[in-house]
Amino acid sequence: MIEVQEASLQSMLEKAINEAKQNHTARIMSMTKQINKADPIAFIGAGENLSMDRGFWGSTSEGFYIAGVGCAHEITAGSNRMDEAEKSWQKLRDEAIIHNPYKKPGTGLVTMGGMSFDPLSQRTSLWNNFPPLSLTVPEIVLTRSAENCYLTINVKVNGIDKASEITQRLNKLERSLLTHSSALPDDVTIEKKQEVDPESWKQTVRHATEFIKANKADKIVLARKLLVKLSDKSAVSTILYNLIEQQPNSYVFAFERNGDCFLGASPERLIKQEQEEVLSTCLAGTAPRGQTKEEDEQIAQSLLHDEKNRSEHEFVVKMIRQSMVHYCRAVNIPDNPVIYPLKNLQHLYTPVKAVLKEKHSIFDIIDKLHPTPALGGVPTEESLAFIREHEQLDRGWYGAPVGWMDSNLHGEFAVAIRSGLIQEKQASLFAGCGIVRDSDPDEEYKETGIKFMPMLSVLGG
């Protein structure tokens, strides 16, 4: 990482071009500046007609947002994806020319994206635009916290580029993105909802319970898909605005690839990094919200004392503890869960704090934690094998880690639940639930129906 203390955009570009010329290879230049408060949703909306992919991350409870437009560089990886991605990211950081006097989370060189739930599962055409792992460095990044706002420009240059021409193009793009109207396109409406073979899904639940009763697994998470036809092509900016308004205490995300957009509002953090400190979340066990304060509290107390949900939650706590000790020290876990309330649902919640050991990274933690028992099952290999053979959908990026990292050793990844893939006038929504020995197929089907609600509500349902 080549740190530059004082610089203008053009001088930074000239330095990067000279480096590229001397080393006969492309160079990434990253420059961050502090700006007046800007609206990240308007920023994403401004990219709607630029034919450039966009990325978005919002931690609504913290008032923290990252909005990215364009792609200066993409990291992709195959079968050994965590190891490949870590090496590619480290090489990119080491060779980048960076001007970032702030070192705040989400500034400097930032990469955003995600990966598929299971790289070994059979892929379908639904997810053609989403590789098994894809992390992009956006060309322009807006980072907004509760206190400050920053703009980062990232650009890849080679030895024959002209700094003045690139500067002119980037300045024009910056003005276009920051002066866009904050008015949102109209909401779409849902014209048709199509359940995908519900009786077959319930039969798979029965098969899973038999598998568990035969002591071949303790828990298997099964997902299903809901197809939604929309009245018009939906605007990503409008959906994101609605998700932020309707889903407090969630991670709102969107990742666009060639016009297809995977987005959602997940309550479940997988891992957060702040230098050497890491924080994970056990979130398993689900119940609806009540219509009154009294009913809500009654449901919460029932959830806290429900044997099935507490057992499901303990699976996750135990697995995360075992995973974290491999790469961390000072692992701290409370003895009992608390209630984590959302608009439509409430969950059992236990935070896990730890300190990364030397020579380990956020990639190691992601690799060890994913899939958690809340998304795969217990034991992991047996449950994944059952899912590959019997689950009748391609999960793609659903249920997988999505998030961001920066060159200052900050980053955060969530589990991509409460989500959907938007393609023109169609949306594929996904929801899952944990199947255990005494699971009832009809009740599990109802639970997945509740979990579709966050996405249906922002699509006009």
Instruction: Over range 90-101, report the average pLDDT.
Output: 94
pLDDT tens, residue by residue, 168-211: 999 999 999 998 887 888 888 999 999 999 999 999 999 999 99
CA–CA separation, 158 and 279 (whole Å): 39
CA-derived radius of gyration, the chain: 22
Mean pLDDT, rounded, of the chain: 93
In tens, the pLDDT along 2-12 reads 665 556 899 99
Write down the catalytic residue from 219, 272, 368, 451: 219
Tokens of 434: 């944990």
Residue 94: the pLDDT is 94
Contacts of 128 (CB under 8 A, 6+ apart): none
Instruction: Inform me whether the pLDDT recorded for 372 exceeds 90.
Output: no
Determine which of 148-152, 280-284, 390-394, 430-434 has the lowest per-residue pLDDT on average: 280-284
Per-residue pLDDT of 404-415, as tens digits, reads 999 999 999 999
| CB-count burial class (<10 Å; 0-12, 13-18, 19+) for 164 | exposed
- Please name which of 184, 145, 180, 179 lies closest in space to residue 65, comparing C-alpha atoms: 145
Task: Give the span between the Cα atoms of 263 and 256, in whole angstroms.
Answer: 8
pLDDT score recorded for residue 52: 93
pLDDT at 48: 86
User: Which residue ranges form the domains of the chain, and what is each CATH number?
Assistant: 2-178 (no CATH), 190-458 (3.60.120.10)
Active site residue 219: yes
Per-residue pLDDT, 4: 59
The yes-or-no verdict on residue 314 having pLDDT over 90 is: no
What is the three-class DSSP state of 364? helix
> Is 135 in contact with 112 (CB distance < 8 Å)?
yes
- Give CA angle at 224 (223, 226), nearest 5°: 145
- Candidates 77, 72, 80; CA nearest to 29 is 72
How far, in Å, are 23, 211, 314, 344, 436 from residue 440 at the CA level?
63, 14, 20, 22, 9
* Helix (H) or strand (E) run with residue 119 in it: none
The confidence score (pLDDT) of residue 5 equals 58
pLDDT digits (tens, 9 = 90+) for 277-294: 999 988 888 888 999 999
Instruction: State in Å, rounded, how far the first CA of the chain is from the last one.
Output: 48
Binding residues for Mg(2+) are 312, 447
- Residue list, annotated binding site: 312, 447
pTM of the model: 0.92
Question: Could you say which of 14, 19, 268, 391 is catalytic?
Answer: 268
